[in-house]
């Protein structure tokens, strides 16, 4: 593992356990066994380190989800796959997920440009647009739908981590919680 990777992994661990504000760069460098000057060579400021880690983790999650979506054609199945794979990724990458949750609820989020955020969420917004056009879900703001599914993933993840569920029980919970989400947004014909 190269020095940059060691710094990113150490920062991830410390940011999750200590928080952004309580993790000085000197501690990251010390725990990584790397000179502080080397840390600043790769990341000129702490903000650069936090933002780099965020973008890297978002890309990792997106690659995982997009790989699963590659062979799915039905809009409902796309949303279900997005939901299930988001949860699978979060359960197997707990520190990464906790970092992303912390980041999303921090002032750092404002440092990510709207263009970058829109690029990250464009694939799921496209699925929501398609579902609306196909009259499968309610016609509402796709950004609201994105927030709802994101919060649903976060809540289900927290619940799944709250107890030692078997893999089978986890799968049932994931299926059931997606059904709840779908019932919330599906278009009901009167």
35 touches 29 (CB < 8 A): yes
CA distances for 10 relative to 62, 96, 155, angstroms = 22, 12, 27
Q: Say which residue the tokens 């190269």 belong to.
A: 2
Does residue 189 carry a pLDDT above 80?
no
Average pLDDT score over residue span 170-181: 97
How confident is the model over 74-96, as pLDDT tens digits?
999 999 999 999 999 999 999 99
Protein fold of 1-44: Arc Repressor Mutant, subunit A (1.10.10)
Backbone angles phi, psi at 19, to 5 degrees: 90, 165
* Mean pLDDT value across the chain: 94
Query: What percent of the chain lies above the pLDDT cut of 90?
Result: 88
108 touches 50 (CB < 8 A): yes
Question: Which superfamily does CATH assign the domain made up of 51-185 to?
Answer: Tetracycline Repressor, domain 2 (1.10.357.10)
pTM: predicted TM-score of the whole model, two decimal places = 0.90
Helices (H), 19-104: 25-32, 36-42, 46-69, 75-92, 94-104
The ranges assigned to domains in the chain are: 1-44, 51-185
Does residue 23 carry a pLDDT above 90?
yes
How confident is the model over 141-152, as pLDDT tens digits?
999 999 999 999
Contacts of 5 (CB under 8 A, 6+ apart): none
């Amino acid at each position: 593992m190269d020095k940059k990777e060691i710094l990113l992994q150490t920062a991830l661990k410390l940011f999750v356990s200590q928080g952004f504000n309580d993790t000085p760069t000197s501690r990251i460098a010390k725990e990584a066994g790397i000179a502080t000057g080397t840390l600043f060579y790769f990341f000129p400021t702490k903000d650069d380190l936090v933002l780099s880690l965020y973008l890297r983790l978002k890309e990792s999650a997106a690659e995982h989800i997009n790989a699963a979506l590659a062979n799915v054609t039905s809009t409902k199945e796309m949303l279900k796959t997005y939901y299930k794979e988001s949860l699978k990724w979060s359960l197997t990458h707990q520190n990464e997920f906790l970092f992303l949750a912390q980041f999303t609820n921090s002032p750092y989020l404002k440092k990510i440009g709207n263009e970058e955020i829109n690029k990250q969420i464009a694939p799921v917004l496209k699925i929501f647009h398609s579902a609306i056009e196909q009259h499968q879900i309610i016609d509402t703001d796709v950004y609201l739908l994105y927030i709802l599914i994101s919060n649903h993933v976060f809540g289900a993840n927290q619940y799944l981590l709250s107890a030692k569920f078997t893999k089978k029980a986890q799968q049932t919970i994931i299926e059931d919680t997606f059904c709840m989400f779908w019932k919330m947004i599906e278009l009901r014909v009167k």
